[in-house]
Structures are given as C-alpha cells and as structure tokens.
Chains A and B, each alone.
Chain A
C-alpha cells in the first residue's frame, strides 16, 4: 500500500492521486478500465489473440450478417397452401382438392414446411444468445489475455524479488558464524557431582582471565569491541543480534539497516501505523 510523507504545509491532492495511480499501475502491470477492455475487445483483438484463429472484427461481422440476412418467418399449417380471403375461390379450391391429390400428395411438403417454419423461429430465438455468447467470449478472452500478461509480469517481478531475498539470506548467513565452543550445549541433569567440579573450576578460571583482559581495556576500546564482537558473531546466537545492527533492524545487502523494526513498532492492533491524535481527538502530525 502507498505511503506518503507529508513534509510541507501544501498538500497537492492531484500529486497524491498520481502517486497512487502510479503505484496501482506498478502493481498491476498494465492497467485497464472496463471501458478500455471493451474498446480493446472490439478494436484491437489481434493484439491479444492469435489472428490466424480469430477474426478481430468477429462481432461486427456477426452483427452485420444477422441484421442483413434475416428472412421473414411465417407459420405454415396444413391449410396454408389453400388459404384465400375470397370465399368463392376457397370453396372451389376445397371442391377441387381431391382432384389435386390425384396428381401428387402435398402432405409431406406441408409437413416439411411446417417443421421448417418452427426451426426458423427457434433459430431466430437462439441468435441473440449466440451473439451474447460470442460477445462475452471475446470480452473474456481479451480480459484473460490481459490478465495473463499481467500475471507474467508479476511472476517475473516476484521471481526477481525471490532471487534478491535469497541473496540477502545468504549474505546474512555468511555474517552469522556458529562456533561450537561459544555456547555449551544443554546437558541432561545427572546424579553425580564429580564431573561438575573440575569443569566449574575450569570455567571460573576462564571467566577470571576474561575479566582481567576486560579490566586492562580502555573504555573506548570496550564500546568498539562490543559491536565488532556482534558483527563477527563471536558469541553464537548473540552474533546474529549483532548482525541486526544497533537498532535491531536487519541489514540489507549493502550493510545498511532498514527501518522495518520502526515500522512494526508504530503500527497499531489493526496492523496499521496509527493516526496520532491530540488530546481533543484531533489527528496530529506527531
């Protein structure tokens, strides 16, 4: 999330918004609004899809063809062939229909046309659905293309960060040296006290020697020596503490301390830096 440092009295809201947008762009890689995606889906499809596979003007073609080539449909019943609004003619046709049927059988023709008219109606009802499906497919494919591109960029970014972190971890491991004699391993309690006495004597002798050495040092040497000791990791686990630097912050590769400890100290129980307030409840810049 974006963090802004407000140093002067003047706040430039537009500047802050530019920073926020730049940050979003950085995060997302390529940044498109819904309208832009629609526009891209209509116009620049070939940029995202394989042009050999999909026509970029697919939607437009489909829409034009649909509008241009829709023939009028009509119902076709068994009486349709013989219908007329003239009463006399209808009577004559009805009279002569048996004669007509002597020459050929019109029933299969009537049935076929009846089915055809039903199919036409179904097709007409389905076409808007096809259109919608294709439209949505094109949109979604475009969106997915963009997403894939973004994800590729994010994977690249994350892998470079991972490399960096690994290098950093190795650098830190190189600083921390484990010395087997520095901290004695924990021993299970034993019943006999014989083995302990000579060891204690040896340890106290070592301690006395160390004290004598420290006593001979000048104070400025003592302070310098402590940090050096930490950095060299002379005391095992304490060495790692030394590697964190004086402020308890991890060292970066260049050896500079990053103030992450500060950041975490500042955050409240929401995991956020607090909005500091004056006594009257007003936020302050403290």
Chain B
C-alpha cells in the first residue's frame, strides 16, 4: 500500500499541533505501508516563509518532499480578509481569497499530489483549513482522507469547507465533539468517519524524582504543559491560581512548561521552567499531582492524553467541549468554568487521595483502551480496508461545484461567526442524545 501524508509544514523540530500529529501518523503507518510526506518549505506558521530546502529530504526515516510557498502571509491583509468572511455577508470568491491569504499557498504541491495520485492508494490531508487540504481534496477527492484537526473557531462556518467535507473519501476525527461539530456545520454524515485521535510516545520509564532534583522542585505541584498564551486560557489560569493560592497558602504549586508569549505573574508558587526536552516533560508530568488544561479550544489535547497515560488526573477548562467530553468519558478528570469550580475541583484533586487515585487509574485505562498506537494504527488500517472495498464496488461521490464565475461573486454567504453560533456545542457524553454517534464510532 502506498500513502501520502500532506501537511502544511513538517519537521522533527515541530513539536505540537497538527504537524506533530501528522509526523506521528506518518511514522506509525510506515510500518504497514510505503509512506511519503508532501509538505511545504515553510517552518514558521505565521509567515510561511520558505526556510527549508525544496526537494526530497528524510525525517526519521520517512521521505519528505517539500514544495515552495508562493507568497508569505501578510498579517494585515489576512486580518482584513478574516473580518470580511467571519463578520460580514460575503461571497465564495471572498472565502477563496481568505484561504489564499491564510496560506501556505503552494500550487506546486497540489500539482504533485494530482500527478502522483494514480500511484498512491490514499492521501491523508491534515488540517482542513489550510490551502493544501482544500485544494488537495478538490483535485484528488477519490484518494483523499481528511484529518481535520478542527477547533471551534469561525473557519468551520465557511461555505467552501462544507463541500470539502462532503467530497473526501473519509474523515478521521480527533474527538466525538469534533465530529459532532463538523457534521452539524457541513452535513457530511454520509462520509465514512471514525474517531481516532492520536497516540503519544510515552516512555517506558519516567522518574519524577529526577525532575524534582534537576529543577529543584520540592513541593507538590500541578503542571501546565504547552505554549503560555492568552489564547490557551493561561491568563484565566493565572488569575484563578493566584486567588486559589491566597485562599490555600500551603496548597499545590503551579509548574509551567513551554515557551511564554505572555507575561507570567511573579509568585513564589508559580514556577516557569521554559521549554523542556521530552524526557524532562514526561518526568515532570510523572512528578506532578495533576495536569491543568486551561485551553478554550482544542480538537484533541495530546498533553492531556500523556498525563492520563502516566496516571495523572486532568483538570480541564469545561468551556472546551472536547476536553470536557474527554474528562467525562474517561472518568479521569474534572473540569471548571469559573473560579469557584476551579477552586473546588483543584482542592478535591489535591486533597482527596482516593478520588485522585481513581481518576489517575481511569486515565491510564482510557489511554490504553483508546490511544495506544496499536489501537490508532488499527483504526487507520480498518478505514483503508473499508475504502478499498468501496473502490471495488465502484461507489463514488462527486465533487460539489462551487458555481460559475458570477455565482461565486454573489454575497450570499452568511458571516462564519454567525454560522458558528448556530452550531450546538456540548460534550458528547454516553447516555446523552449524541450517544448514537459514540456507539457508531465504537
């Protein structure tokens, strides 16, 4: 079997988001198939500047073919385009212009995918909202599997993506909430889909004591791992934690791991250790009492899965449907929506040994059951088999037309932000109305 993995940027030094997800999947599927990664020469996700050499490269034994980006992103232009399509009635042409301005625009990459499609069994397109995924899905729909990595942001309300989600062969979702949101936004229930998510490279042995010695962290602590950014809910986390620290002067400390792009409050109980290598990161999680995930928008939190894999409970932001749903389904975490809940849940996890132990154990079980690599690989391979059977039966879904020149310029599209507000947001919980989805995916 021959597979291509198309993603906006790729490299061993990119350690987060859809890019890392794509790398893990490519490396794992390479055990079962011949895999080639198709990507751009960009390294920076803000500018998409061509920083890596064009041509074929090897990353961890996987061939990577890079294509140049035709233009860098102009933040002002992209901002204007975003306001137009998110906040105002607009046309299909406006949305395509927005996609172009978002980047990374690489027509050569799309041409290559189209040329090599006949030699490939399937093409995995990562991140629905980028240029390569949209154009790739339209040019080679018969081979395209989409891994949307969709968050609850207005882009999902854009009309052009509805056709993409309905045209591809299959969709590999990250979570039940992501699937519910995409299906509500694009009505793509007919397209085969499965909730897969992603595994993680959990080390066989971790040493919490080593972390404590190395970084001189003596007291019990809660940990946050990730970019320290207001968009990730860190400002709210700091506000809540400072209030909590005042209420409980001898409670847990807070250890932050990751690069900071916002000021971190100076407090004796908040320790920022910066970016750490994977070994230290896992040791830190193992040494912690719990992981805090304050993010409002996640399609899947890998670090939460890693904490569960190491038997640590998670305290998540309940306004993020995905995290809340995972906490409920795994029975391995609590969630908060405001300070009072934050204080009560953190205190409960900090002070209640049996609860802490049970949640930690549930997390480990949940990870083993759903997110170990054999489970993930099996889901992909099963989907490939299913699609091959469909190929044999000759069933095809046509690509939807976006209309002619004039139709594309009529301002009939509703503001994407308005569309998003109409999409129901809730954690998918067994026993609720969405349980049908759960059982179908199981």
B: number of interface residues (CB 8 Å): 38
The verdict on A6 contacting B354 (CB below 8 Å), with A14-B429, A270-B250 known, is yes
Q: Which of A1-15 contact B (CB under 8 A)?
A: 1-6, 9-14
Stretch at the interface among B100-108, B338-346, B370-378, B401-409: B338-346
CA distance A28 to B340 in the complex (A): 10
21 residue pairs A–B, Cβ–Cβ below 8 Å: A1-B344, A2-B344, A2-B347, A6-B354, A6-B358, A11-B331, A11-B358, A11-B359, A13-B334, A17-B341, A20-B348, A24-B344, A33-B337, A33-B338, A270-B250, A274-B353, A275-B220, A275-B353, A275-B357, A285-B353, A285-B354
CA distance A78 to B282 in the complex (A): 78
Is B355 touching A11 in the complex (CB atoms < 8 A)? Answer: yes
Residues from chain B with a CB closer than 8 A to the CB of A270 are 248, 250-251
Q: Which of B351-404 contact A (CB under 8 A)?
A: 351-360, 362
Q: Which of A231-286 contact B (CB under 8 A)?
A: 269-276, 281-286
CA distance A271 to B250 in the complex (A): 7
Is B353 touching A13 in the complex (CB atoms < 8 A)? Answer: no
A4, A10, A27, A269: the one contacting B250 at CB < 8 Å is A269
Main secondary structure of the interface of B (DSSP, over half): helix
Residues from chain A with a CB closer than 8 A to the CB of B333 are 13
Q: Which of B293-352 contact A (CB under 8 A)?
A: 311, 327-328, 331-335, 337-338, 340-341, 343-345, 347-348, 350-352
Least Cβ–Cβ distance between A25 and chain B, in angstroms: 9
Minimum CB distance partner of A25 in chain B: B340
Q: Closest 3 interchain pairs by CB? A: A270-B250, A283-B357, A6-B354
Residues from chain B with a CB closer than 8 A to the CB of A283 are 353, 356-357, 360
Is A272 touching B355 in the complex (CB atoms < 8 A)? Answer: no
Residue among A2, A13, A16, A269 with most chain B CB within 10 A = A13
**Interfacial residues, chain A to chain B (CB-CB below 8 A):** 1-6, 9-14, 16-17, 20-21, 23-24, 27-28, 33, 269-276, 281-286
CA distance A272 to B209 in the complex (A): 22
Is A4 touching B353 in the complex (CB atoms < 8 A)? Answer: no
B328, B343, B352: the one contacting A14 at CB < 8 Å is B328
CA distance A270 to B358 in the complex (A): 22
B95 located at the interface, meaning its Cβ lies under 8 Å from any Cβ of chain A in the complex: no
Residues from chain B with a CB closer than 8 A to the CB of A273 are 351-353
